[in-house]
Amino acid sequence: MSFRRLFVLALVVAMPGVARAQFTTFIPPQPKVVDTAKAATSVATATARVDTTMNTQLTNMKTWVDSAAGVAPSSLTAADSLATATTALTDTTVSTTTTMRNGARAPATASALPLIALLGASMLSVGLLLLAGPRTARDRTAPDRG
Amino acid sequence: MLRRRVGAALTGLGAVLLTVAGSRYTTGALRADEARRAWDAARARQAVANAHAAAWNPARSVALVTGAPVAHLLIPRIGLDEIVLEGVDGDELNAAPGHVPGSALPGNAGNAVISAHRDRHFSHFGELHLGDTVTTETLGKRTNWVIVKRQVIDKNAPALFRTDGATLTLTTCWPIRYLGSAPDRLILTAKPIAPRVLD
């Protein structure tokens, strides 16, 4: 057996061992450590987003805290009827009154119909006068095509 | 030639405007008739129900649905006899005086607010003075009122207030004879004389 053949045989025998050694160095990933405190916080946040009652309570609580601290609330909740009434007393931008509120303006009973009717009658009268007025000389001299 | 064209245009436009106004008035009159028939039918049903009940049951009242008849308003001095509809939007006020939603029903505790156009149902409203009487009927209760306050206020001024006792507030635009959007409101406040249960 020549030296070359011995070398090839040695490679054939040794290479799988080398390759195997590559795989035996595989280190499995460590299981993730669950941060229980963080998970609880995220769950609570998601619940608060979905739970409108809790939202309202939080808003009211914030309003109460602000008012207790002497800070004017930045926004009013729709369910606060007392606040709505207070707003009605000072709000002058509402165009019409369609429901009863304390301090609301009288309903908009203004109507444009009389004006429209008067304009229509005037236009009709003037138009008929113009149509029935004296014919011009040109109209009178026009040949009768009947 | 130009004169005839202008005349034809004015005649056409005038006819259109008159048609619009006329159709609106006609629609309102038809709806007022419909409301009166509905009110009469409701009164008849009420009478039958009362025949079976020893006392009036407040729970058996009219449904406060927008556009539904809720009361009967009578003002003898100006010959007003109208069915009041629920709501004060354009369609309701075009047909009849409107009861402001959220206000009390006439005769009940609280402020009952009724509004109407000055060019239609409340066209003679300016002739009313302190001491004039008003009568309202809801299903089951007839109330006579006396006008105790008459005021003209700016259209943007606060006009409607809640009251503890029975109060009737009637509003319309002011001045009565005014072309265009009236700048003020006429507010009449009345207090009950003697409410009584209808048979």
Q: pLDDT for B97-126, tens place per residue? A: 999 999 999 989 999 999 999 888 998 988
Give the CA distances from residue B43 to residues B72, B87, B96, B103, in Å, rounded to whole numbers and listed in that order: 11, 20, 18, 22
Question: Within a 10 A sphere around the Cβ of B54, how many other Cβ atoms?
Answer: 6
CA distance B26 to A126: 25
> pTM of the full predicted structure?
0.62
A133: region left, alpha or beta (phi > 0 left; psi from -120 to 50 alpha): beta
Query: With 80 as the cut, is the pLDDT of residue A144 above it?
Result: no
Matching residue, tokens 């606040």: A83
**Among A61-65, A125-129, B13-17, which is the least confidently predicted range?**
A61-65
Helix (H) / strand (E) element for A53: namely: helix A52-68
Q: Are B114 and B73 in contact (CB under 8 A)?
A: yes
Length of chain A: 146
| Residue B155 DSSP SS3 | coil
Q: What band does A50 get if pLDDT is binned at 50, 70 and 90? A: very low
Q: Are B103 and B64 in contact (CB under 8 A)?
A: no
Q: Which of residues 155-194 of B touch A (CB under 8 A)?
A: 155-162, 171-173, 179-182, 185, 187
Close Cβ partners of A81 (under 8 Å, ≥ 6 residues apart):
none
Query: Which residue is closest to B153 within chain A, CA to CA?
Result: A106
Q: What band does B19 get if pLDDT is binned at 50, 70 and 90? A: very high
Matching residue, tokens 């080398």: A18
CA distance A64 to B98: 39
pLDDT for the residue numbered A108: 83
Interface-testing mutation among A91, A96, A111, A116, with chain B (most B C-beta atoms within 10 A): A111
Q: pLDDT for B90-103, tens place per residue? A: 889 999 999 999 99
Close Cβ partners of B71 (under 8 Å, ≥ 6 residues apart):
B83, B84, B99, B105, B106, B114, B136, B137, B138
Mean pLDDT over A2-27 rounds to 68
